[in-house]
Structure 1
Amino acid sequence: MKLNKLERYVVRHPLRQWLQQRLEQPLLLGLFEHGLPVVEHALEIGCGFGQGISMIHKGFGASNVTAVDLDEEMLSYCAKRYVDVPWLTLAQADATTLPFADSSFNLVCDFAVFHHVPDWQQAVSEVFRVLRPGGSFVIEELYRAAICNPVSRRLFEHPPQNRFNHREMHDCLRLAGFEIAKSHHVLGLAGVTLAIKPVGANAIS
């Protein structure tokens, strides 16, 4: 599901980008208790206006970043923002049917995108498929309590059914084959998680 006009404004606002750089990035990097792994190929699902691309490249140290989005406007904006950047590939894609081969990436990032995906469980399975064994899935998400309340429903547009909380997200991750390395949540409203695809694991069909 694409963002509505208000959420586009919020995501693009300089304050949102400042929070992502100053608060969210250190929190996400802190999930890696034993230091960041070497990341040759990274994937961002739902690139939006491109702040996550910079975080993945500079913060996580990814040599090559592939960023996908369902919204052509977002991709067009990122293409202009990162013009002639050799380490970036942009593509239009649905999170539930990623157009990549198995075991393509060392790192996959979801920066508050899956709560917009109707079949988010299938998106988790797709991430497991495209991650290399030993690869990392970094998740920053809004949960049911944050988006399925009267205020949020009035202001924003999210799928009304099949939303999730912190525990349900983790249950789905484990069912797909992931191991939970570390996580935090805030009052059940939002959370961050580092999930690892075990070495030797194969994608679940």
Structure 2
Amino acid sequence: MKLNKLERMVVKHPLRHWVQRSVEQPLLLRLFEHNIPVIQNALEIGCGFGQGIQLIRNGFGAARITAVDLDEEMLSYTAQRYADSPWLQVVQADATRLPFSDATFDLVCDFAVFHHIPDWQAAIAEVFRVLKPGGSFVIEELYRAAICNPISKRLFEHPQQNRFNHKELRDGLLACGFTVKKAQQLPGLAGITLAIKPHEQPLD
């Protein structure tokens, strides 16, 4: 699902970038408890205008990054912004049908994108598929109460059916086979989560 005009302005605004860099980035890095694994290949789902790429590169230390989005304008902007960055690949893709082989990435990041995806459960399953065993899924998300209220519905365009809260997101991760290593929430509104794809899959 693509953003409306107002949300594009919010995502691109310098104040939003400052919040991401100064507030959200330290919280997300602390999910790893100062023990960030070596990351050769990272994937960002819903790269927008490219701000999250800086966190993945400079914060998590990813050697190579693939950034996907549905929005052609955002992809074009991001590609131009990082034109001199050979470590970045920008791809148009649907989060529920990622065009990558199984076990490709060491890290996948969702910076407040899955609440835009109608079938977010399918997107989680795709993340699980493309992650290597032992790989990390870093999630920063808005929950049902933040997007399914009169103010948000008037200003933004979000799916209103099949939305999730903190527990439902956790349950969706567990159902796909993830182990939830650490999670924090702003009750009802938003949360951050670190989920790990186990090295060994349980037998049926």
TM range (shorter): over 0.9
CA-based RMSD:
0.9
Which amino acid letter does the alignment assign opposite residue 81 of structure 1?
R
Is 1:57 the counterpart of 2:57 in the alignment? yes
Residue 201 of structure 2: aligned partner: 201
For 2:19 and 2:60, how far apart are their aligned partners in 1? 17
Output one character per residue of 1:106-127: Cα deviation in whole Å (capped at 9) or x when no partner. 0000000000000000000000
Is 1:100 the counterpart of 2:132 in the alignment? no
Is 1:154 the counterpart of 2:154 in the alignment? yes
Residue 73 of structure 2: aligned partner: 73
The structure 1 segments of at least 4 consecutive aligned residues displaced by more than 3 Å after TM superposition are none
Cα deviation, residue 187, structure 1: 1.9
Cα deviation, residue 200, structure 1: 2.3
Instruction: Please list every run of 5 or more consecutive structure 1 residues that lacks an aligned counterpart in the other structure.
Output: none
Compute the TM-score of the two structures, normalised by the length of structure 2: 0.98
Residue 39 of structure 1: aligned partner: 39
Q: Across the two proteins, how many residue pairs are aligned to each other?
A: 202
Q: 1:200 to 1:34 in 2, by over 3 A?
A: farther
Report % sequence identity: 70
Compute the TM-score of the two structures, normalised by the length of structure 1: 0.97
Which amino acid letter does the alignment assign opposite residue 51 of structure 1?
Q
For 1:89 and 1:66, how far apart are their aligned partners in 2? 5
Output one character per residue of 1:170-202: Cα deviation in whole Å (capped at 9) or x when no partner. 000000000000010002100000000001239
Which amino acid letter does the alignment assign opposite residue 90 of structure 1?
V
Residue 166 of structure 1: aligned partner: 166
Residue 179 of structure 2: aligned partner: 179
Output one character per residue of 1:65-99: Cα deviation in whole Å (capped at 9) or x when no partner. 00000000000000110012110000000000000
Is 1:85 the counterpart of 2:85 in the alignment? yes
Which amino acid letter does the alignment assign opposite residue 68 of structure 1?
V
Instruction: Please list every run of 5 or more consecutive structure 2 residues that lacks an aligned counterpart in the other structure.
Output: none
